[in-house]
């Protein structure tokens, strides 16, 4: 078996270069897979091979009193950032330009002078003047193919980071504003609650005010009626006081006359008493004297009667006038009640306070003299009665004296006793006349005082009447004003009720709105700012790691390149196919052995060499090795069949498959015709199956395996067909210059 295999391999590689040929066939796929995988396993890591320049021309700006050096921050993000694909060097414009020209720097990022100014222009308060900051990214003409895109991506990532920081700062200020607004709305809600309480009290107070105003209107109406009655009463008091003063004046005049008469009467009675005494002594002259005495007594009796007749009607009129005068005490009490009512109304704002004070003073003055006035009135009435009674008694006594003296004159016999009686009566008369004279003088003095008191009372009553009329007039005006006040208070009460409803609604709205405005702590603001500034993240996953994806892709390319190289070195169809007597299937099998050996060895080397770097367990490694061997066998069979059936065109077709695999596997954003051709490529199934195992993402492993098996069978069938065809010569093959297959 081994000898047969050795002969087959010797037939496949004739000559002395057999070992180097075998080594080359094994190294080609290993170099392709190893170098490409190494180069693209982790392109984002720092290999120290690529440099990029950062030129910071930015001039920092001041925003809200703080220095904002955004250009410096961006340069620091590039130089000290996490992306290590380039070694970023902070330099100046001249060095960056020189480095781009000679290839020292693969790319250059220039931060312009107005970078910070433009980036913060949205915070200047002039929205329409806000502009976006830009960066200048240049690539060296000596740079690699993807450096332009990669350097732009790195710069964009740094810009995104800076933008995120700016947005985080802005959002933090927004959240601070929310918190401040929440606090202020809380204060406003508290104030609105207090306002609602105040407007509620105001509404209650205005309703009470309206009720009080209506009560004031009713009270002022009663006060106006009372003031009118007081005015009428004080008018009557003034008129009665005037009549009292007049009557008291007349009484004083009559009392003065009475005093004069009683004085003269006292003189006469004194003389009468003296005369009677003398008559008693001079009884001898009694007849003549008694006659004269009788005449004098008659004259006295007549005078006394006339005096009694004169004084009695006057005394009766005085008593009647005094009885007709109202009691000063009652008037004082009425005036005091009126003054108290006026003060009560003044306290509620319905009456003039000054008038009430004047009315109180008048009441006090009248109260001070009311007792004296009533006393003088009583004494004057008593004096008038006593004078009337004394004069009547005097007149009767005088008449008796006159009668007695007349009898004495006619009856001289009883003269002595009569004279004695007359002397006694005269003495009594003298005493009574003296008492009458004293009473008349007291009556005169009391009548004068009564006249003066009546005059004062009339003046006070007149002033009181004037004040009462003013009170009545003022009360009428106050009644009108109170009516206006009641109407205004009703309107005010309605307005206060509406204001209370509005304040309550405002307080409820602010309280409800307070729950809609968020408040954040510093930790919450920091977290929300980060989340809101970068709301969407695409964290790298196992399937997104470029190493396993690139490794499996380059492994497939290496296997295909190895299969292609194998049939560039050895023949696809055995040279003995034309002359051999063996069956076609045995000849085809012998033709497959060299390529199969190369495929198995190459697949085993690549599968076992790459599997440890993929982080697979033992089962994964065995599966990865099995798929690698299947892919190597399928690719070898296809390349052999293409070379056997199509000869040179078949080898060119294999090269085309290699190129299409690179074109369709490097990027997904390819033209539609290339994307449509990708599933038809023999390498497509191997890429799918190997990536499903390497990434563990659960790809279409079964589909990839079926794809490889189908292409393996196609390759075997093609090799069998080509071997069968080459066992016979065509007229074209009989030409001497026909090339060897």
Quick: pLDDT tens for 148-168. 555 556 566 666 666 666 666
pLDDT for the residue numbered 537:
44
> To 10 degrees, the CA torsion angle through 160, 161, 162, 167?
80
Within the chain, which residue ranges are assigned CATH 1.10.287? 191-483
- What is the CATH T-level fold of the domain 191-483, as seen in this structure? Helix Hairpins (1.10.287)
Percent of the chain with pLDDT over 70: 62
Quick: pLDDT tens for 429-446. 668 767 766 776 776 777
Does residue 521 or residue 109 have the better pLDDT?
Answer: 109
pLDDT for the residue numbered 668:
61
Instruction: Inform me whether the pLDDT recorded for 136 exceeds 60.
Output: yes
Instruction: Calculate mean pLDDT across residues 534-546.
Output: 46
Give the whole-angstrom CA distance, residue 191 versus residue 85. Answer: 61
Quick: pLDDT tens for 644-669. 888 888 888 888 888 888 878 766 65
pLDDT for the residue numbered 738:
46
pLDDT for the residue numbered 165:
63
Quick: pLDDT tens for 687-716. 888 888 887 765 688 888 999 999 999 988
pLDDT for the residue numbered 304:
73
Q: In this structure, what token pair is assigned to residue 519?
A: 């408040």
Quick: pLDDT tens for 302-317. 877 777 788 788 777 7
Measured CA to CA in angstroms, residue 676 lies from 203, 638, 660, 664, 683 at distances of: 83, 21, 11, 10, 14
pLDDT for the residue numbered 626:
92
pLDDT for the residue numbered 7:
47
Strands 66-68 and 136-139: unpaired
Give the whole-angstrom CA distance, residue 703 versus residue 705. Answer: 5
User: What is the SS3 assignment for 255?
Assistant: helix
CA atoms lying within 13 Å on the CB side of residue 695: 25
Q: At 543, is the pLDDT very low, low, confident or very high (cuts 50, 70, 90)?
A: very low
Strands 87-91 and 51-56: parallel
CB–CB of 492/207 below 8 Å? no
Percent of the chain with pLDDT over 90: 5
Q: What is the mean pLDDT of the chain?
A: 72
Quick: pLDDT tens for 397-435. 777 777 777 776 676 656 566 666 666 766 776 687 677
Task: Centre a 10 Å sphere on the Cβ of residue 281 and count the other Cβ atoms it contains.
Answer: 11
Give the whole-angstrom CA distance, residue 312 versus residue 141. Answer: 157
| pTM attached to this predicted model | 0.42
Instruction: Inform me whether the pLDDT recorded for 729 exceeds 60.
Output: no
């Amino acid at each position: 078996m081994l000898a047969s295999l050795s002969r087959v391999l010797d037939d496949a590689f004739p000559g002395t270069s057999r070992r180097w040929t075998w080594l080359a066939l094994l190294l080609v796929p290993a170099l392709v897979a190893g170098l490409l995988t190494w180069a693209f396993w982790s392109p984002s890591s720092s290999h120290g091979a690529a440099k990029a320049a950062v030129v910071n021309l930015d001039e920092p700006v001041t925003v809200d009193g703080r220095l904002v050096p955004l250009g410096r921050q961006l340069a620091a993000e590039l130089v000290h950032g996490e992306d290590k694909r380039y070694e970023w060097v902070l330099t100046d414009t001249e060095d960056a330009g020189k480095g781009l020209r000679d290839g020292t720097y693969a790319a250059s990022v220039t931060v312009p002078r107005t970078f910070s100014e433009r980036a913060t222009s949205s915070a200047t308060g002039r929205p329409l003047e806000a502009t976006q900051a830009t960066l200048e990214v240049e690539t060296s003409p000596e740079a690699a193919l993807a450096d332009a895109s990669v350097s732009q991506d790195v710069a964009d990532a740094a810009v995104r980071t800076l933008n995120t920081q700016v947005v985080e700062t802005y959002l933090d200020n927004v959240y601070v504003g929310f918190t401040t607004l929440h606090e202020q709305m809380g204060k406003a809600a508290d104030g609105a609650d207090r306002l609602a309480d105040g407007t509620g009290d105001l509404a209650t107070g205005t309703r009470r005010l309206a009720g009080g105003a209506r009560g004031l209107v009713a009270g002022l109406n009663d006060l106006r009626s009372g003031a009118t009655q007081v005015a009428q009463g004080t008018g009557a008091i003034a008129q009665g006081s005037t009549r009292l003063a007049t009557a008291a004046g007349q009484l004083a005049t009559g009392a003065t006359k009475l005093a004069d008469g009683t004085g003269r009467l006292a003189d006469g009675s004194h003389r009468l008493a003296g005369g009677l005494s003398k008559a008693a002594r001079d009884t001898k002259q009694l007849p003549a004297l008694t006659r004269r005495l009788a005449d004098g007594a008659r004259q006295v009796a007549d005078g006394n009667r006339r005096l009694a007749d004169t004084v009695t009607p006057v005394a009766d009129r005085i008593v009647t006038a005094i009885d007709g005068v109202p009691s000063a005490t009652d008037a004082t009490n009425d005036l005091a009640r009126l003054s108290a009512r006026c003060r009560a109304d003044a306290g509620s704002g319905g009456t003039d306070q000054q008038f009430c004070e004047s009315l109180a003073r008048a009441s006090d003055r009248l109260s001070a003299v009311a007792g004296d006035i009533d006393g003088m009135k009583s004494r004057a009435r008593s004096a008038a009665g006593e004078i009337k009674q004394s004069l009547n008694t005097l007149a009767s006594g005088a008449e008796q004296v006159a009668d007695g003296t007349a009898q004495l004159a006619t009856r001289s016999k009883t003269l002595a006793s009569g004279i004695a009686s007359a002397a006694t009566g005269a003495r009594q008369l003298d005493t009574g006349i003296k008492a009458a004279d004293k009473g008349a003088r007291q009556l005169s003095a009391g009548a004068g005082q009564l006249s003066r008191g009546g005059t004062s009372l009339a003046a006070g009553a007149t002033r009181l009447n004037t004040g009462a009329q003013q009170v009545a007039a003022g009360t009428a005006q106050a009644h009108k004003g109170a009516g206006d006040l009641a109407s205004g208070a009703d309107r005010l009460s309605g307005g206060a009720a509406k204001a209370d409803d509005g304040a309550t609604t405002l307080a409820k709205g602010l309280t409800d709105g307070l729950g809609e405005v968020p408040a954040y702590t510093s930790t919450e603001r920091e977290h929300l700012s980060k989340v809101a500034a970068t709301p969407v993240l695409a964290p790298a996953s196992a399937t997104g790691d470029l190493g396993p994806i690139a490794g499996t892709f380059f492994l497939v390319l290496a296997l295909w390149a190895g299969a292609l190289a194998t049939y560039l070195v050895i023949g696809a169809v055995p040279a003995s196919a034309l002359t051999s007597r063996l069956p076609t299937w045995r000849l085809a099998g012998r033709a497959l052995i060299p390529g199969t050996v190369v495929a198995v060895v190459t697949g085993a080397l690549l599968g076992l060499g790459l599997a440890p770097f993929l982080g697979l367990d033992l089962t994964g490694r065995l599966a990865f090795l099995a798929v690698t061997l299947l892919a190597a066998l399928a690719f070898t069979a296809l390349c052999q069949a293409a070379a056997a059936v199509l000869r040179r065109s078949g080898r060119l077709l294999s090269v085309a498959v290699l190129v299409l695999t690179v074109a369709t596997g490097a990027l997904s954003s390819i033209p539609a015709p290339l994307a449509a051709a990708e599933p038809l490529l023999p390498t497509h199934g191997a890429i799918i199956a190997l990536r499903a195992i390497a990434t563990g993402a659960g790809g279409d492993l079964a589909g990839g395996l079926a794809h490889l098996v189908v292409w393996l069978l196609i390759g075997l069938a093609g090799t069998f067909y080509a071997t069968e065809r080459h066992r016979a010569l065509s007229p074209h093959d009989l030409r001497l210059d026909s090339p060897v297959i």
